[in-house]
Amino acid sequence: MLKSTLSGLTGRPRAFDGVLEQAGRIILGKEHEIRLAIACLLANGHLLIEDLPGMGKTTLAHTLARLLGLQFSRIQFTSDLLPADITGVSVFERERSDFRFLPGPVFAQLVLADEINRATPKTQSALLEAMEEGQVTAEGQTRMLPTPFFVIATQNPAHQIGTFPLPESQLDRFLMRLELGYPDRTAERALLAAGGQRRRVEELTPLLTPDDLPALQQEASTIHAAGPLIDYVQALIEATRQNPAFLHGLSPRAGLALLAAARAWAWLAGRDMVLPDDVQAVLPAVARHRLRSAQGGGYALAEDIAALIRSVAIP
Amino acid sequence: MSTPAHEALDRHATPWLFATALATTAPHFMHQPLWLSAVAGAMLLWAVWQWWKDVRLPGRWLLFLLVVGGSAGILGEFRTLFGRDAGVAMLVMFMNMKLLELKSRRDAMVVVTLGYFLLLTHYLYSQSIPTGIWLLAAMWLVTATLIRLHGGPSSRPRETLRYAGVLCLQAIPFMLVLFLLFPRIPGPLWGLPSDAFTGKTGLSDTMTPGSIAQLVQNGDIAFRVRFDGPLPPRQKLYWRGPVMEQFDGTTWHLYKGRQPTAQLESLSPPIGYETTLEAHNERWLLALDAPVALPAESLLNGTLTAISRNPINERKRFRLSASLDYRLNTSEDPAVLRRNLALPASGNPQTRALAAQWQAGNRPEAVIAKALALFNAEFTYTLQPPLLGQHGIDDFLFRSKRGFCEHYAAAFVTLMRGAGIPARVVGGYQGGEFNPLDQYLVVRQSDAHAWAEVWLAGMGWVRVDPTAAVSPSRIETGIANALAFGEPLPMLIQMRADWIRTLRYRWEAINNAWNQNILGYDPQRQRELLARLGLPDTDWRSLAIALGSACGLLVAGLMGWALYKRPEGDPVVRLWHKALRHLARRKVDCSPWETPLDLARRVREQRPELAEAFQRVVDAYLVARYGNTDQHLKTLRDAIAQLR
């Protein structure tokens, strides 16, 4: 990290340093992605991790839940999964002559929705409603989900057979989308030498309690974003609307998401103000799944986002 | 800006003061006694040496002795401490002495103030274009010094000079307004001290052999003329100065007594022209023969010389008109005729004998023709005649036979008087050089000339130019063509290559425009300008109002502009751009999309020696620009100041 008086400027307790460090030991060579994932949770947003099977998506989700001390549940999405399998069902109890609601796996602080694109759109939308509303409506009754409530969804790339890609409107519900990608040579070598990492997750001890997190989220959301920085965010959003590389531009909600993510990123760096660097760091994760590339209509290409950054002057 | 006056002087600011002293005193070298320039230069060198070696400055007693010694020297040289020359000498001396006691900022301010004052003194000697350019540059330097002394935007010379340049440029509109509208004082503004008019060249009121030949070696401009119509033929361009009627054997003099009024009868329509006369400290206007209309404050004397009431001691412009063909005093006063027949009681016997021989049985016209034929046959026109003995005219006519116009005029008039024909010598200028670029005829000291006038019954005074008989080309084409190559004429006149001549014409046209429009902007011109602007009949009150409103409008305009520009000028951004320019000079360019932290990282890789200082700038900038405070401007400014 750069030696600058800016980091650590505020003398804030570095609560997340341990989380970053411990997670880095489980998922090797992915510090940037881990940091993004944590920033996403700090900004109170949901996370979509997209990659081929076996790249460590589940391990990452599991590790974060463990380290943040969150109550964790995992839903493996399959093509025959029904909405009730997620939200829960009411069963008749003979003793009480009444229905009792059995909460589904969504009633957890951190829900890992594994391979979300394997399920039918109906089932997907049950989860997405819970993500948006923070509550579940089943059999006419609305039930509040616990706080904090995070969803980390994983997805295999859409070109695989037998999947239902998430529609754009639902992609928008995820604050960030990450790709883990292959580890680099040294990380892979270390991984091979150490054997599978997944069992080591169980050995991790939580570094936070669930009560700590809302306070930290609150703190992160008050990081100062000065006028010139908001100008910059605005310029970037406008540039996506003008840029012929994209079919359409970013929505105002996406702009808010970008700013929130940048704030969390700044907070992680120990600063009390957002810098253009923070915006640039989170922009690909926040914007790519919200844009459509003019070539082929898939997610915006990473190169296009990089070109976008290079086309906007920092005010 | 609140640095106390007694604060010690920044060592790095001192060279600015040396430069100020040098720029403001050095040009006085040209018109000061050598010893004074040497002393002033020695003081400057001494001060520089002390600064270089960081030696203690000389003590109070030594300085006191220097002041007393310097003042005594000036008193000894000029016999006074006042007036132009002595006053300027004092200023130059004390300016350079002040450099020896540069201890505090107050001393430096004295140097700067003296510097501004010394700028003015140069105009007492010269108001030419090069002087103006030099003084503008020197003012820029002095202003930069002033800015540097107050800390300025940065300690780097380039920034300081740029800032001073902007300040000077902003002053230009005010300069123009003040120049155009400030009430003009009629008379010599820059020649106020009484000793300011010495050392002007021009015709004198006496003539000895060699006096005009000496004047001709001076290339200075005597006057410039613009004719209303076309240029008259060269051989008629006789500009009349003093008419010398009295001869003592070697020298010709003006007659100082009363002269009857000239009776002029013009035979051709008058030609109007405007002449701009350089200062020559005499009263004659050098009008074209024969003057028929004169400017105010001048008169025509009995010998047809136009005379101004006061000596011409500054450049002046007049309107005149002349009749090229005329008849003068056909009925002349017998006393005048007697005066113009008189010869010294003795001397030049051969000349007298020749004249007496011619007079016998010949009409005056025939005598004149004989004399001209004599000159034409055997005589040489030269600037370097041999020395003449006691009987100068005899020596010239019968032995050397080489001479310049005054020899011919003097010999001719002597011959005429000897032959009983009233005759006199006329001094003045003949011809001139026409500048096709600005249509002005330039008459130089090298065009100085002497010719003769004889009085013939029924015709009055008739001009006879014996030089024309010796060297017709002197009259028809000018002096440069009349003399053999190698004669000691001014270099400028001798240059006959076309491109040099064109260049000279151009430079003289520019100079003339400067003289006519800038230096010649007098109360009359000011009134004309104001009348054209719709302010006729201005007195000083309406001028003051016009001046006040013009300055007020200018200030309002500048303020409006500054206020309009302000939203763009966030000081934080300006300072950041300054830092970026600094990097760019060190070959690190920043793209507009590159974040400051990325840039700092790149500086660390590319210019590690700059990295630490630049990191401080970046930190200060980010806090000032993106932080939740607006009190970090000073930190940023300090950090940028350390970028060296």
Domain-terminating residue out of B480, B499, B518: B499
Q: Which of B289, B405, B407, B447 is catalytic?
A: B405
Do B20 and B82 sit in the same domain of this protein? yes
Model confidence pLDDT, tens digit, residues B575-591: 888 888 888 888 888 88
In DSSP notation, B482-536 reads HSPTTS---HHHH---HHHHHHHHHHHHHHHHIIIIIIT--HHHHHHHHHHTT--
Partner-chain contact B592 A314, CB within 8 Å: yes
Each residue of A175-212: pLDDT tens digit? 999 888 888 888 888 888 877 667 777 778 888 877 78
Any domain includes B175: yes
Backbone angles phi, psi at B221, to 5 degrees: -85, 130
Contacts of B37 (CB under 8 A, 6+ apart): B28, B29
pLDDT bucket at B302, cuts 50 / 70 / 90 = confident
> Does pLDDT of B291 surpass 80?
yes
Interface touch B622/A224, C-beta < 8 Å: no
My answer on whether B147 and B241 are in the same domain is: no
State mean pLDDT over A18-40. Answer: 86
Q: Who has greater pLDDT, B166 or B572?
A: B166
Same domain, B67 and B129: yes
Please, what is the Cα angle at A179 between A176 and A183, to 5 degrees? 140
Q: How confident is the model at residue A8 (pLDDT cuts 50, 70, 90)?
A: very low
Number of Cβ within 10 Å of residue B451's Cβ equals: 25
Residue B396 belongs to some domain of the structure: no
Residues B234 and B125 in one domain: no
Q: Per-residue pLDDT averaged across A252-256, rounded?
A: 91
Chains A, B: CB pairs < 8 Å: 54
Using a 10 angstrom Cβ sphere, with 0-12 exposed, 13-18 middle and 19 or more buried, the burial of residue B592 is: exposed
**Is residue B253 domain-resident?**
yes
Report the residue from A5, A276, A311 with minimal CB separation from B595: A276
Q: Let me know if residue B394 belongs to a domain.
A: no
Token output for A182: 């292959």
Q: What domain range includes position B99? A: 11-181
Which residue on chain B is closest to A3 by alpha carbon?
A: B615
- Is B465 part of the annotated catalytic residue set? yes
pLDDT at A221 over 50: yes
> B213 and B165, same structural domain?
no
Question: CA nearest B628 in A: which residue?
Answer: A224
Contacts of A4 in chain B (CB under 8 A): 597, 600, 615, 618-619
Do B51 and B159 fall within a single domain? yes
Best B625, B631, B636 residue to mutate vs chain A (most A CBs within 10 Å)? B625
Query: How many domains would you assign to chain B?
Result: 3
Average pLDDT of the residues of chain A? 83
pLDDT at B457 (0 to 100): 85
pLDDT for residue B550: 86
B319 and B466 together in one domain: yes
Residue B281 counted as domain residue: yes
For B31-82, the pLDDT digits (tens) are 888 999 999 999 999 999 988 888 877 888 988 999 999 999 999 988 888 8
A226 closest CB neighbour out of B593, B596, B627: B627
pLDDT band (50, 70, 90) for residue A15: low
Write out chain A residues lying below 8 Å of B597, CB-based.
2, 4, 275, 277
CA dist., res. A83 & res. A115, Å (int): 15
Domain presence at residue B254? yes
Say what angle helices B608-626 and B633-641 make with each other, to 10 degrees.
160
Contact A314 B618 (CB under 8 A): no
pLDDT for res B495: 60
What pLDDT sits at residue B187? 56
Split at pLDDT 50, 70, 90, the class of B238 is: very high
Best of A10, A267, A271, A273 to substitute, by most chain B Cβ atoms within 10 angstroms, is: A273
Q: Going by DSSP bridges, is the β-strand pair A110-114/A150-155 parallel, antiparallel, or unpaired?
A: parallel
Per-residue pLDDT, A278: 92
The whole-number pLDDT of residue A281 equals 92
Three-class SS of B217-236: CCCCEEEEEEECCCCCCHHH
Overall average pLDDT of the B639-644 stretch: 76
Distance of CA B36 to the CA centre of its chain: 23
> What pLDDT digit, counting tens, does each position of A138-173 carry?
777 888 888 888 888 888 775 667 778 887 778 888
When pLDDT is averaged across residues A100-110 and rounded to a whole number, the result is 87
CA distance B459 to A241: 102
The confidence band for B1, taking pLDDT boundaries of 50, 70 and 90, is very low
Task: Look at B484 and B179; give whichever has higher pLDDT.
Answer: B179
B104 and B31, same structural domain? Answer: yes
| Residue B494 confidence (pLDDT) above 70 | no
Largest CA distance in chain B: 118
Same domain, B155 and B63: yes
Q: Which residues of A touch B611 (CB under 8 A)?
A: none
How much of chain B exceeds pLDDT 70, in percent?
Answer: 91
| Residue B213 and residue B169 share a domain | no
Angle formed by the axes of helices B571-585 and B596-606, nearest 10°: 20
Answer yes or no: do A4 and B628 touch at CB < 8 A.
no
Q: What is the pLDDT of residue B194?
A: 46
Catalytic residue, chosen from B465, B582, B590, B632, is: B465
Question: B296 and B240: one domain?
Answer: yes
The residue out of B475, B499, B523 marking a domain boundary is B499
Determine which of A152-156, A286-290, B108-112, B476-480 has the lowest per-residue pLDDT on average. Answer: B476-480
Contact with chain B for residue A94, Cβ under 8 A? no
Q: Is B491 exposed, middle or buried (0-12, 13-18, 19+ CB in 10 A)?
A: exposed
Q: Is residue B383 part of a domain?
A: no
**Ordered domains of chain A (ranges, CATH):** 12-221 (3.40.50.300), 223-315 (1.10.8.80)
B631 interaction partners in chain A (CB closer than 8 Å):
none
B449 given a catalytic annotation = yes
Q: Let me know: does B410 contact B512? Beta carbons within 8 Å.
A: no
Per-residue pLDDT at B488 exceeds 80: no
Residues B222 and B98 in one domain: no
Candidates B593, B615, B622; nearest CB to A275? B622
B6 annotated active-site: no
Tell whether B1 is covered by a domain: no
Q: pLDDT at residue B195 above 50? A: no
**Of the partner residues B601, B626, B628, the one whose CB lies closest to the CB of residue A2:** B601
- CA of B524 vs chain A CAs: smallest distance (Å): 58
pLDDT score of B84 more than 50: yes
User: What is the model's pLDDT at position A180?
Assistant: 85
A233 confidence band (pLDDT: 50, 70, 90): very high
Q: What is the pLDDT of residues B409-432, one digit of tens each?
A: 888 999 899 888 899 999 899 888
Calculate the average pLDDT of chain B. 83
Q: Residue B2 pLDDT > 50, yes or no?
A: no
pLDDT per residue over B587-638, tens digit each? 888 888 888 888 888 888 888 888 888 888 888 888 888 887 766 777 788 8
pLDDT for residue B156 is more than 60: yes
Distances, alpha carbon B286 to alpha carbons A192, B308, B428, B455, B497, in Å? 112, 10, 7, 22, 30
Q: State the smallest CA–CA distance between residue A2 and chain B in angstroms.
A: 7
Whether A19 shows a pLDDT value over 70: the answer reads yes
Q: Which of B129-133, B166-170, B218-222, B229-233 has the lowest mean pLDDT?
A: B218-222
Contact A199/B at CB under 8 A: no
Tell me if B244 sits within 8 A of B252, measured CB to CB: yes
State which residue of chain A sits closest to B615, comparing Cα positions: A4
Give the pLDDT of residue A3: 37
Highest mean pLDDT among A257-266, B257-266, B292-301: A257-266
Q: Is there a contact between A272 and B628 if contact means CB atoms under 8 Å apart?
A: yes
